[in-house]
Amino acid sequence: MTITVPSGLFEQAHAAMQRAYAPFSRYHVGCSILSTDGRIYVGCNVENSCFALGHCAEAGAVSQMIVSGSKQIASVLVIANNDTPCTPCGGCRQLIREFASDDAPIYCANQHGVVSVHRLDELLPYSFGPNHLGASS
């Protein structure tokens, strides 16, 4: 099956992955987010000697999107530097969910290319979100 990925999403996540700071795990992750207003934001994982303070790649990309003024995620691509396609960790699924609709595609890539794509609600079913708190956004 051929997976069609929005233009530039893989390349930009791959470039971000190469800038990861991951001296402890040596697991380099890149994330690219396409916002609904057509912009691409990227992040990489940034680890810390105090291990608990490390940041996932998705967190960096979401922060970049919000500070730049985009409001909504259209799709996400996550890539890591080995052969196993990177799926977002549980915390990052929740982070993405804050700004994405249930049907947002999450592309999972290894160092060679995109291997699978999943709807957000497939990765995070029955999720908790702003609607539970009565928030519009």
Which residues are near ligand THU by CB under 6 A?
A: 22, 25, 27, 29, 45, 47, 54, 56-58, 78, 88-89, 92
Q: Which is nearer to ligand THU, 32 or 37 (CB)?
A: 32
Annotated catalytic residue: which of 11, 47, 58, 98? Answer: 58
Q: Which is nearer to ligand THU, 9 or 56 (CB)?
A: 56
β-bridge pairing 113-119 and 105-110: antiparallel
Q: Which is nearer to ligand THU, 51 or 126 (CB)?
A: 51
Closest approach, Cβ 28 to ligand THU, in A, equals: 8
Closest approach, Cβ 127 to ligand THU, in A, equals: 16
Taking Cα atoms as reference points, which of 68, 17, 67, 25 lies closest to residue 43? Answer: 17
Q: Which is nearer to ligand THU, 35 or 45 (CB)?
A: 45
Catalytic residue check, 58: yes
Q: What is the 3-state secondary structure (H, E, C) of the chain?
A: CCCCCCCCHHHHHHHHHCCCECCCCCCCEEEEEEECCCCEEEEECECCCCHHHCECHHHHHHHHHHHHCCCCEEEEEEEECCCCCCCCCHHHHHHHHCCECCCCEEEEEECCEEEEEEEHHHHCCCCCCHHHHCCCC
Closest approach, Cβ 44 to ligand THU, in A, equals: 7
Residues labelled as active-site residues = 58
